[in-house]
């Protein structure tokens, strides 16, 4: 598949050559500034989707650089400061790989990326500690720590950080059914978040989990319906307006009735 650089090289060829250059940089054979220039030139215009493209490149570079931590840090910090958004997207994959070893070192960097000026970088960065397709991220090795990070993101003062929180462990929850009931209470404060698009991110998470495990999501929504305020009730209704809930019509109807009763009680 050709990229958009206009030189006719394939994505595979480009990624291989950039990964090789990263290895040379780690060995001190080329300066990090030259590596950054190559990334910027050859990645500009590359589509973010499918996300495995830029993400996969960064992950492959991380596999090379993790053997030389000092060089890895230098390269990562250069890439995230690039003016080229595609380079910053590749940096997400790099940090995803490096964070498997020392997630605590990359928390501030991850927060920086989830507040990036570009929405596609932000969306990709939300998964920086998660699992990604068949790749194991920091959550597989340091779950307790990543849960602490996501818990802090839920209550962060920056709405972009809160918006990232529902996606930050979604892949892990899809892979590990036993974690799903634990995730939703962590995200619960977002049910009535003052920002609609933060709430919508939580709704997207609920719907995605609901497709895989409707009972877990409906259990959470039924409990939440008993205590949610008007904003939370609206979020619950939106989450239920989806085919996953239609698969269990009796439970959906019961939750909607509970929301109706709650609304009537508030009017009194």
Domains of the chain, by residue range, sit at 1-175, 176-268
Residues of the chain with pLDDT under 50: 1-6
Instruction: Please report the pLDDT score of residue 3 as a whole number.
Output: 46
Instruction: Please report the pLDDT score of residue 4 as a whole number.
Output: 46
Return d(Cα 1, Cα 3) in angstroms, integer: 7
Rounded (5°) CA angle 152-158-162: 55
pLDDT tens profile 83-139: 999 999 999 999 999 999 999 999 999 999 999 999 999 999 999 999 998 899 999
DSSP symbols for the chain: -B-SSSS--BHHHHHHHHHHHHHHHHTTSS-HHHHHHHHHHHHTT----STHHHHHHHHHHHHHHTTSHHHHHHHHHHHHT-S-HHHHHHHHHHHHHHTTT-GGGGHHHHHHHHT-SSHHHHHHHTTTTS-BTTB--HHHH-HHHHHHHHHHHHT-SSHHHHHHGGGTTHHHHHH-GGGHHHHHHHHGGGGG-SSHHHHHHHHHHHHHHHHH-HHHHHHHHHHHHTT--HHHHHHHHHHHSSHHHHTSHHHHHHHHHHHHHHHHHHH-
Contacts of 179 (CB under 8 A, 6+ apart): 143, 169, 172, 173
Helix (H) or strand (E) holding 39, with range, is helix 32-43
Assigned CATH topology for domain 1-175 = 1.25.10
pTM above 0.85, yes or no: yes
Instruction: Please report the pLDDT score of residue 59 as a whole number.
Output: 96
From its phi and psi, is residue 108 left (phi > 0), alpha (psi between -120 and 50) or beta?
alpha
Instruction: Please report the pLDDT score of residue 9 as a whole number.
Output: 73
Return d(Cα 84, Cα 41) in angstroms, integer: 9
Instruction: Please report the pLDDT score of residue 8 as a whole number.
Output: 61
Instruction: Please report the pLDDT score of residue 5 as a whole number.
Output: 46
Instruction: Please report the pLDDT score of residue 177 as a whole number.
Output: 97
């Amino acid at each position: 598949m050709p990229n958009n650089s206009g030189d006719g090289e394939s994505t595979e060829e480009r990624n291989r050559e950039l990964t090789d250059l990263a290895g040379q940089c780690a060995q001190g054979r080329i300066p990090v500034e030259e590596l950054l220039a190559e990334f910027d030139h050859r990645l500009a215009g590359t589509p973010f989707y499918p996300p495995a493209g830029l993400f996969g490149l960064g992950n492959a570079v991380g596999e090379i650089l993790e053997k030389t931590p000092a060089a890895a840090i230098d390269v990562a910090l250069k890439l995230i400061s690039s003016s080229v958004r595609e380079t910053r997207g590749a940096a997400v994959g790099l940090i995803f790989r490096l964070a498997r070893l020392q997630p605590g070192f990359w928390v501030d960097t991850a927060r920086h990326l989830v507040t990036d000026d570009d929405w596609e970088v932000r969306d990709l960065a939300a998964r920086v500690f998660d699992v990604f397709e068949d790749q194991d991220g920091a959550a597989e090795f340091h779950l307790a720590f990543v849960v602490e990070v996501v818990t802090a993101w839920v209550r962060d003062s920056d709405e972009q950080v809160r918006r990232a929180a529902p996606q930050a462990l979604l892949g892990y929850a899809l892979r590990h059914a036993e974690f799903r009931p634990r995730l939703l209470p962590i995200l619960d404060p977002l049910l009535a978040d003052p920002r609609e698009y933060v709430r919508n991110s939580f709704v997207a998470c609920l719907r995605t989990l609901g497709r895989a495990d409707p009972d877990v999501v409906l259990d959470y929504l039924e409990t939440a319906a008993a205590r949610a305020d008007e904003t939370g009730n609206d979020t619950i209704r939106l989450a239920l307006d989806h085919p996953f809930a239609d698969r269990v019509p009796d439970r959906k109807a019961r939750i909607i009735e509970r929301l109706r009763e709650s609304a009537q009680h508030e009017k009194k």
